[in-house]
Amino acid sequence: MSGKTILVWFRKDLRIHDNEILAEAVRKGKNIVPVYCFDIRQFQHTPFKTKKTGLIRAQFLLESVADLQNSFRKAGGELIIKIGKPEVILPELVSKYQVNEVYHHREVASEETRVSADVETALWKLKINLRHFIGHTLYHKEDLPFPINSIPDVFTNFRKKVERDASVRACHETPEVMNFPDNLESSPLPELSELGFNENVPEDFRSVMKFKGGETEALKRMQDYFWGTHAVKCYKQTRNGLIGPDYSSKFSAWITLGCLSPREIFWEIQKYDQIHGSSDSTYSLFLELLWRDYFRFMFKKYGNKFFQKTGFKGVAPEENENQHELFERWKNAETGIPFIDANMRELNSTGFMSNRGRQNAASFLVKDLKVNWLWGASYFEEKLIDYCPANNWGNWAYIAGVGNDPREYRYFNVLKQAMDYDPDGEYVRIWIPELSKVQGSLVHQPWKLSSAEQSEYQLINYLNAPQYAPEFVVEKLKDKKNLV
């Protein structure tokens, strides 16, 4: 062991399992100084008047940082927690603890990479090296069968070549012993109010599950999903579900903050397959993780184009003249289409929305209401508990037709989708109790009820809202041929 002190700068890698920067710092250094900075810029407003981080995700982040701090405390150390700009804070800590080198994981989106560049410049002035690691994906960038710029724009082409020519590396060992400087400061966890929130975190009993941040909860969830309920066994059949904890893995919020390593999940899948035999379900879960890799690599390939209306296709979708008003209705779950409103209510109340819901809500905003898709993506950025730049903007660009969808014009008929994925209307009734008395799938089209039925079912609260079933949308939905 050398006499080095290494500062480990945690960002979206809030775990001690399969964490290369930590494993390598422990291996190389005499002492480690673990640090997390709440970058205040992440709690400000966007140009679209949404917040960069909403209340529910902020709470999840606090829990995740607290759990990491706890892990270091158990190992006899500390996690230094600061609020401010990393490019200011890290050089101060480097001087205070006589740090020799700083380790961090590279990010892909521009704001995050700009912060790394600023940290690098600030450290350079102290003649300290910022060492970059790559550690967010299933496949290591260096193991891909093509350079980033040549990655195919069609996922299937990427998948086929990666599956044939690349392999997933083993996980890094969790360090058993860690050494810390004696004078490591103890930091209190910030209050939500210090991050600009004055309201309480909402709790909704209808949430698909109770999400608690941190590696401990993430590993517990993985254990339960594989070995407790074995829900992973039917992932392929259930993944388009809308209700409850087990129709999909619900790993996303933990993966996004790095509380759970995608590689760890990959090796858990292998273990599961060895015992129970490989299946379409475990393969499908792997494919979704591969989609995540793909969007991340696409972000490296196309950079800020994912934040532009034209994406990387060059032609922006059409926009309505009254799009401001339509956007407000969409955000507030007042479109008059119950399936969309139910999904938006779920998002607003819990921070989560199923993949099926996200596809429909996004498509409806872009293709039916014809609202600027960047506004929708920004709104998701604020609200989603699992927001991650590449996944969010990559998926939105895909749906807006300016990203990785090879199909010319993909259209989600939200009424058909509602009937297919919520055939009895159970999901809609959970989120729109005003419609609870409407039987069966009619709940998706309450405007079809007679006025006598409408008053019998007391639909007044929902139907009399100003948004009620915009005629032009309903008409359009009926006519669509190109259904998904």
Ligand X SMILES: Cc1cc2nc3c(=O)[nH]c(=O)nc-3n(C[C@H](O)[C@H](O)[C@H](O)COP(=O)(O)OP(=O)(O)OC[C@H]3O[C@@H](n4cnc5c(N)ncnc54)[C@H](O)[C@@H]3O)c2cc1C
Residue length, the chain? 484
Best CA proximity match to 289, nearest among 305, 269, 271: 269
The CB-of-143 to ligand X minimum distance in angstroms stands at 19
Report d(CA 65, CA 69) in Å as an integer: 6
CB 113 within 8 Å of CB 36: no
51 vs 358, beta carbon nearer ligand X:
358
Least Å distance, CB 19 to ligand X, is 18
DSSP labels, 21-63: HHHHHHHH-SEEEEEEEE-GGGGSB-TTS-BSS-HHHHHHHHH
Check residue 100 and report its DSSP letter. S
Nearer to ligand X, 210 or 437 (CB): 210
* Sign (positive or negative) of CA dihedral 408, 414, 420, 421: positive
Q: Which residue has the tokens 């600030």?
A: 122
The values of phi and psi at residue 7, to 5°, are -85, 125
Please report how close the Cβ of residue 374 comes to ligand X at its closest, in angstroms.
Answer: 12
Shortest CB 53 distance to ligand X, Å: 12
Question: Least Å distance between CB 218 and ligand X?
Answer: 11
Rounded Cα distance, 260 and 253, in Å = 9
- Complex with ligand X: residue 33 or 399, whichever CB lies closer: 399
Question: Number of helices (H) and strands (E), helices first, in the chain?
Answer: 20, 5
For 103, which DSSP code? E
33 vs 73: CA distance, rounded Å: 12
6 vs 255 by CB, closer to ligand X: 255
Shortest distance in whole angstroms from residue 94 CB to ligand X: 33
CB of 451 to ligand X, least distance (A): 37
Q: Give whichever of 130 and 384 is closer to ligand X, judged by the CB atom.
A: 384
Sheet containing 5-10, strands listed edge to edge, beginning at the edge strand earlier in sequence: 80-83, 31-38, 5-10, 101-105, 129-133
Task: Summarize as ranges the residues that interact with ligand X (CB under 6 A).
Answer: 239, 248-252, 255-256, 285, 288-289, 291-292, 295, 354-355, 358-359, 362, 380, 384, 386-388, 391-392, 395-396, 399
| For ligand X, the closer CB: 73 or 271 | 271
Paired strand residues for 6: 32, 101
Q: How far is the CB of 286 from ligand X (least distance, A)?
A: 9
Judged by beta carbon, residue 11 or residue 82, the one nearer ligand X is: 11
- Closer CB to ligand X, 261 or 354, in the complex: 354
